Amino acid sequence: MKKEIADVLIIGAGPSGMVSAAYLHNQGINVIVVEKAVFPRFSIGESLIPQCMDNLEEAGLLGAVKKAGFQKKFGARFIKGDQLGEFDFSKKYGNGWDWTWQVPRADFDMVLADEVSRIGVEILFGTEVLSVKFKGTNSVTTIKNPKGEVSKIHANFIIDASGFGRVLARQLNLEAKPKIAAHSSIFTHITETKRPKGKEGELITFEVLDTGVWFWYFPFSNGNSSLGFVAPNEWFDNFSEDNSAAMKQMLKKLEYYKNRFDEYPFLFEPQKIENISKNVSELYGDGFVLTGNSAEFLDPVFSSGVSFATASGLLAAKLVVKQFRNEEVDWEKDYVAYLKRGIDVFSTYVKEWYSGNLQKIIFHPSPRPEIKAQICAVLAGYVWDETNPFVKKHKRIVKNVSKLIEMEENKL
């Protein structure tokens, strides 16, 4: 049986895995990547946020993405009936990137993988992980390639960036109860031949049908657009069991976008993901760490998925390098506690979105500029900046501002 040896085995060639692989390779670490899918392949998570630009840049991948010509994203728009909330990243609180991209993930992930391959990292596409066995921090992973041939990879460390494949979470029984309530999503793409020119055809928009039900519109530079709904699981029971028929029925529920997409055929059968939110009981152990969606996924509402995936992939790679250089690494403090600070902030905002408190602030007709700027920084992904009161005091500040708005409304 064929045997390969690597310093680090990375499971998954999505954004988290590619950021880890590029950073490690640039630090002289021998890496092998195993990816079950054959690229290009479709993935959800198509709207980036500015914070992920920092991660791509530090991993040396930003230049390749810039050359790809994806649709630039300068902010986001929220619509609910006649209410409007619009955020411009250039007007956010603090430093950091003031733009990013919205991307067809098949193309975006391919760009990252091509660049990682170009610099010399071996990526085994179409290769399934059959089993992983640990002996201390060393591991032996049994894999099967597209020809059905079985081989083994011996590694000193594993980064599981397998996303919703959740390889180690399943093999090591690490699945845990999600932090966010049970929601599902349905989505597809169209080719929008009559897309409006200018801002209307470029700006991503979230149309809110009800406090817990919303629709996304993401226009891409290739002329295609992503359409999707997110709602509590039971909401989907109101529609056809056939995904195409259900999607058409849901589109009729829109107000702002009503009838705009009627003439366009779906580019693929709408896909439905049930119980989107994921969680694990442990983020690391002897010889392994979980990154990206293989660790935790909250909710698509603020497009935080790729940002957390790349942030965790970069941080994990940095700590692995330190560990290989015999420097002290406290995974609980340096990895878990750090990521938890950011995840907790976004968890608050997701929960307060569905409670209605955050929506009350977003749709306020006369928002205070400093409050809007501080919230905008959170939506841009800068959730570790504790100089921002909407980060530092996240557990109570959204509720408190929402209550102030209620008091104002009651006086009118």
CA distance 33 to 334: 24
Give how far Cα 22 sits from Cα of 7, 33, 55, 57, 130, Å.
14, 11, 11, 11, 25
Tokens of 211: 């406090």
**Residue 294's pLDDT is what?**
63
Q: pLDDT tens digits, residue range 133-183? A: 999 889 999 999 999 999 999 999 999 999 877 899 888 888 777 666 678
Q: Is 254 left (phi over 0), alpha (psi -120 to 50) or beta?
A: beta
CB 303 within 8 A of CB 202: no
Is the N-terminal amide bond of 178 cis, ω within 30° of 0? no
Residues facing residue 190 across a β-bridge: 225
- Say which residue the tokens 């902010």 belong to: 75
**Residue 200's pLDDT is what?**
92
CB 34 within 8 A of CB 9: yes
**Residue 410's pLDDT is what?**
78
CB 124 within 8 A of CB 115: no
pLDDT band at 1 (very low <50, low <70, confident <90, very high): low
Q: Is 324 left (phi over 0), alpha (psi -120 to 50) or beta?
A: alpha
Q: What is the CA radius of gyration of the chain?
A: 21
**Residue 231's pLDDT is what?**
93
CA distance 147 to 23: 30
Q: pLDDT tens digits, residue range 317-361? A: 999 999 999 999 999 999 999 999 998 998 899 899 999 999 999
pLDDT at 278 over 90: no
Number of H helices, E strands in the chain: 12, 17
Residues facing residue 159 across a β-bridge: 10, 289
Report, as an integer, the average pLDDT of 188-193: 97
Provide the angle, in degrees to the nearest 10, between the axes of the packed helices 105-118 and 15-26.
20
Q: Is the dihedral of CA 401, 407, 411, 412 positive or negative?
A: positive
CA distance 70 to 52: 15
The helix or strand, by DSSP H or E, that contains position 144, with its residue range, turns out to be: strand 138-144
**Residue 273's pLDDT is what?**
87
CB 271 within 8 A of CB 248: no
CB 92 within 8 A of CB 380: yes
CB 142 within 8 A of CB 152: yes
Q: Any idea what the Cα angle at residue 144 is, between residues 142 and 149, rounded to 5°?
A: 115
Q: pLDDT tens digits, residue range 28-75? A: 999 999 999 999 998 888 999 999 999 999 999 999 999 999 999 999
Whole-prediction pTM? 0.94
Residues 6+ apart with CB under 8 A from 391: 345, 377, 378, 382, 383, 384, 385
Report the range of poorest mean pLDDT among 124-128, 151-155, 176-180, 239-243.
176-180
Q: Report the residue count for the chain.
A: 412
Backbone φ and ψ of 116, nearest 5° = -65, -40
